[in-house]
Structure 1
């Protein structure tokens, strides 16, 4: 039944029989037959069918909650047995908010030093998508904001506090200043992250509180695109840690934003499950060590 539940979870995620079959490495007829067999075993209809996938039935939505738990527990069991047999190894999938991408290497490097057979896949995602990807078992853990918007049922480990800076070219009149109030950003051509990013919602809130109407002339989900526009004369707002990687190699300056001197906690989030897989358990321990917990 585990294989059928895996296929059901994949179908609920992909919302398309062909893409779900491709995701789990089977043919579409095989996946369709497995879903029908699962429905027969459980005695309920799980999927609304027509000429294409029509969504889950109410019973299907309830079964999906159980399927995620069962599939997650089965994967944990397999990982624990493999670790006992041959040591900690395998793939660790992390989804990370764009402003924390430059900081994730501190965590992965420390874990790799202790467990060299662990491989990493790191994806950039919004805070909302990270929680969805963890719930759907598409990633093992994430790095996101901890204290600004609801997280749901996850385990968290704080890593650092995000502080914000105005990023401008070195020849800007702002470049030599010790700090800049948020209220002064209304005079600048701004390039900002897109509204689906929690960082944008945070910075937008600070700008609004300072009386600045946020009308960026450039929006993007990439910090690299932001910096490329700064080099052409725009200004942007980034966390200090996200900006540090550019300060050493590009003619840009980072000036702390004040009034307020805002801070938001960023940390590791992992599924609320006991026991965790050995790799996730090691990741949580390493995150706690780095943050001093």
Structure 2
């Protein structure tokens, strides 16, 4: 009964609405409300601020939710491990990614699925870096591919995968005398289409443009790497994209991808996992794969270039 009460409370904290929480938990709203009230009685503290509608959690409720998330995650990890011991890993791996690094996720999920044919994978590939940290903290994700940060590395296990670097994607001129590279200052003068400014990938670019004294002023902003390629294809725009995406799209006909220099800027990308023991069996399986797969080398292969 306690685990069910904790599940109801965690769901209520996430959706912040009694009726929607009850719907997600496949119970009636009165049943969910009564279970939360009984939990309050058992703990002898108010957990929910109640009015005509859900008004949030009390400070005690916020702390209990953190404990509940941990307890439920440990229960799920224990269940997965027992099942794996009996018949092989057959749970679900939930992995998140910032959009700029989502191309690397498939390089991990393919061997994971090959080695664990009974397991399934759920990929969330459009998360911001801050969302990833919150979802790892609340055990909504088992792992994530994202940028390295010192603060995250103190709280989570970081397995380096590759270094993201950047290219200027633009239309190829009709003449054959094409430069082999471009400076960030030259890129800033292009009619740019860039990622949304709230995204970590865009904040990295803005920092470099500010460093060289030529802030970028894009006419078009998007939250999709594929959209950047599509806009460049029109012939009107240029963009700055992570080199890893050339492994997915190649350099489309009529375009060119020039490495950006002055300065050469790279960012560490890696797999982030919760620091807890025992680690979930799905997380451990993914960590072992990340430790032996050459993600960096694979991303260097651009279709059409060998």
1:242 aligns with 2:248: no
Cα distance in structure 2, aligned partners of 1:213 and 1:13? 38
Q: CA RMSD in A?
A: 2.0
Superposition pairs of residues 62-73 of structure 1, within 5 angstroms = 62-73=63-74
Superposition pairs of residues 95-114 of structure 1, within 5 angstroms = 95-114=96-115
Report the equivalent of 2:207. Answer: 205
> How many residues of Structure 1 are paired with residues of Structure 2 in the alignment?
292
Which secondary structure does the structure 2 equivalent of 1:102 belong to? helix
The answer (yes or no) to whether the contact 2:251–2:257 under 8 Å persists in 1 is: no
Cα distance in structure 2, aligned partners of 1:214 and 1:52? 45
Which secondary structure does the structure 1 equivalent of 2:140 belong to? coil
Question: How does the TM-score come out when normalised to structure 2?
Answer: 0.89
Report the equivalent of 1:180. Answer: 182
**Measured at CA, do residues 173 and 130 of structure 1 come closer, stay the same or move farther in structure 2, by a change above 3 Å?**
farther
Cα distance in structure 1, aligned partners of 2:26 and 2:179? 56
Question: How does the TM-score come out when normalised to structure 1?
Answer: 0.93
Cα distance in structure 1, aligned partners of 2:214 and 2:83? 55
Report the equivalent of 2:136. Answer: 134
Cα distance in structure 2, aligned partners of 1:174 and 1:104? 36
**Measured at CA, do residues 149 and 209 of structure 1 come closer, stay the same or move farther in structure 2, by a change above 3 Å?**
farther
Q: Which runs of 4+ in 1 moved over 4 A?
A: 148-152, 172-175
TM superposition shift of 1:248: 5.0
Which secondary structure does the structure 1 equivalent of 2:82 belong to? helix
Cα distance in structure 1, aligned partners of 2:191 and 2:54? 46
Report the equivalent of 2:62. Answer: 61
Cα distance in structure 2, aligned partners of 1:10 and 1:175? 60
Cα distance in structure 2, aligned partners of 1:159 and 1:75? 27
Report the equivalent of 1:224. Answer: 226
The answer (yes or no) to whether the contact 1:156–1:267 under 8 Å persists in 2 is: yes
Cα distance in structure 2, aligned partners of 1:57 and 1:151? 30
Deviation string 1:160-209 (CA, Å, 9 cap, x unpaired) is 11011111123388993211111112211111111221010000000111
Cα distance in structure 2, aligned partners of 1:86 and 1:136? 28
- 194-203 vs 248-257, greater mean Cα deviation: 248-257
1:254 aligns with 2:257: yes
TM superposition shift of 1:150: 4.4
The answer (yes or no) to whether the contact 1:166–1:236 under 8 Å persists in 2 is: yes
Superposition pairs of residues 280-291 of structure 1, within 5 angstroms = 280-291=283-294
Cα distance in structure 2, aligned partners of 1:237 and 1:261? 13
Task: Give the unaligned 5+ runs of structure 1.
Answer: none
TM superposition shift of 1:151: 5.4
Which secondary structure does the structure 2 equivalent of 1:214 belong to? coil
Report the equivalent of 2:95. Answer: 94
- 173-182 vs 264-273, greater mean Cα deviation: 173-182
**Measured at CA, do residues 252 and 245 of structure 1 come closer, stay the same or move farther in structure 2, by a change above 3 Å?**
farther
